[in-house]
Amino acid sequence: AQKVTQAQTEISVVEKEDVTLDCVYETRDTTYYLFWYKQPPSGELVFLIRRNSFDEQNEISGRYSWNFQKSTSSFNFTITASQVVDSAVYFCALSELVRAQKLVFGQGTRLTINP
**Interaction between residue 96 and other proteins (CB under 8 A):** yes
Nearest of 57, 54, 58, 74 to residue 66 by alpha carbon: 58
**Interaction between residue 91 and other proteins (CB under 8 A):** yes
**Interaction between residue 93 and other proteins (CB under 8 A):** yes
- How many residues at the interface with other proteins, by CB under 8 A? 25
Q: Which residues contact 43 (CB under 8 A, 6 or more apart)?
A: none
SS3 at position 73? coil
Q: Which residues contact other proteins (rule: CB under 8 A)?
A: 4, 32-33, 37, 42-47, 50, 52, 91, 93, 95-97, 100-103, 105-108
